[in-house]
Each structure stands twice: as C-alpha cells, then as structure tokens.
Chains A and B, each alone.
Chain A
Amino acid sequence: AQKITQTQPGMFVQEKEAVTLDCTYDTSDPSYGLFWYKQPSSGEMIFLIYQGSYDQQNATEGRYSLNFQKARKSANLVISASQLGDSAMYFCAMREGLQGGSQGNLIFGKGTKLSVKP
C-alpha cells in the first residue's frame, strides 16, 4: 500500500492566487514527521516545510502553510499568493519513527507538478 499519496499529478494556478496541493499518508506509528519539498527543473530538492505528528499547530513558513488533519491523515500544502517561480514539482514525504517499519527513511509521494500562469 502507498504510504504517501498525492492524487494530483498536475495543477494550474493563476499568479497571485492561493493553491492547495493534497497529500494523504498512511502509518501506524504514532511518531512521524511530514515534509514538503519543491523540485524545480534543475533537479535539486528544496525543503519547504515540516510538520511533526505531535505538533499542535499547523506549520507555516512564509507563503507556505501545512493544513494538517491528523485524524484524516492528511497534510496538504497551501501556497498563498502564487508566483511564477513556484512552478515546479512538489513532493510530500514522511519519516516514521522507530515503530513504522521504514527504518526512519524518507518516503516520498509521486509528486504534483504545479504550473503558475501569468
């Protein structure tokens, strides 16, 4: 079974508008971390935001926020005021704790390609 599911292979958003990229995860470990990375066409993975499973508040980093709904096992990324430079692949990833079976490695979703239109 997929541990990280990103159901949107591609998305378009108008410049200056907000966009939500979906991510659902599956783990039986109570301790885990959720990450979002951006991968431009150059290939480098750029860390955007992190949410811990015990964090009480949703994470925010500048224009990025994470809509964390633990009961639904969802960790959607919200980008506010989209910019042309936001066009890239976006990956949701999870690292489980020691009970998760993945030995603490980062598990990635298939990604969502975001295109920002001027």
Chain B
Amino acid sequence: KAGVTQTPRYLIKTRGQQVTLSCSPISGHRSVSWYQQTPGQGLQFLFEYFSETQRNKGNFPGRFSGRQFSNSRSEMNVSTLELGDSALYLCASSNGLAAAFRFYNEQFFGPGTRLTVL
C-alpha cells in the first residue's frame, strides 16, 4: 500500500507570493490533516479535511487555506507569503472514524514539503 505523498518536496518563494502544496493520502483514507513545523513553534495543527469538508481548523490566519477533492487528495494554499511561513509542512492521513473514537485514530504522515520564503 503506497504511503502518503506530498509534492513538491522543496519549494523556495519570495515574500508576497502565494504557494500551493499537495497531499495524496493513503488509498481508502478520507481524512487529511495539515501541520506546520518550525524550530520556534514546533508542530502546529493547521486544518483537517474529511470527505471534502473542513472538519477542524487551527489558529492560523486566513492566508492559510485548504481544500479536499473527491478522491481525498488535498491541497493547502498560503497567500501573501511572509518570512515566518518558512517551515516544514506535513500532511497526515487517516481513515477518519466517527468523532467519538477519533482519539485513537492513527495518522500516517507524509515526508513533508519544506518551504523557504526569501
């Protein structure tokens, strides 16, 4: 079974530009979550999509957005890039079981996209 794939793996942008990152979950998984990892803030939850709907959202500005397609692939977009957006962006997929049992829902992570903003 193929794992979670993320493209591109590395990206360099300049301030003010926008960027789109892509994540393909494990086949059969319907939930995709995105995380930002920086040396200063650590790993922070961005948002989760389940069956094309945003189910949860972290505490990030509106410049960060995402979507999920019918095949469960997900994209996240960051507009008007800032230097502080430089980070490793990780995507994780899971089968997204019913909310009552989600706390033991195992998430499988992709290799990440390393974004550098100059």
Q: A residues within 8 Å of B by Cβ?
A: 31-33, 35, 37, 42-47, 50, 52-53, 91, 93, 95-98, 103-111
Q: How many residues of B contact A (CB 8 A)?
A: 26
Residue interface mask B33-70, A partner, CB < 8 A = 1: 10100000011110010000000101000000000000
Q: A45-B90, A45-B92, A110-B42 are in contact. Are A104 and B99 (CB under 8 A)?
A: yes
A100: nearest chain-B partner, CB-CB: B103
The answer to the question of B25 belonging to the interface, with a C-beta cut-off of 8 Å to chain A, is: no
Contact across chains for A106 and B56 when beta carbons are under 8 A apart: no
In the complex, are the beta carbons of A52 and B103 less than 8 A apart? Answer: yes
A98 with B43: CB separation less than 8 A:
no
Q: Which among B11-19, B78-86, B104-112 touches the partner chain? A: B104-112
Chain B, Cβ-Cβ closest to A107? B45
Asked if B112 and A44 make an inter-chain contact with CB atoms under 8 angstroms apart, the answer reads yes
Do the beta carbons of B88 and A43 come within 8 Å of each other? yes
A105 to B103, CA, bound (A): 8
Q: How many Å from the CB of A76 to the closest CB on chain B? A: 19
28 contacts between A and B (CB under 8 A): A31-B103, A33-B103, A33-B104, A35-B106, A42-B111, A43-B88, A44-B109, A44-B110, A44-B112, A45-B90, A46-B109, A47-B106, A47-B108, A47-B109, A50-B106, A52-B103, A52-B104, A91-B43, A95-B102, A96-B103, A98-B100, A104-B102, A104-B103, A105-B33, A106-B35, A106-B45, A108-B35, A109-B42
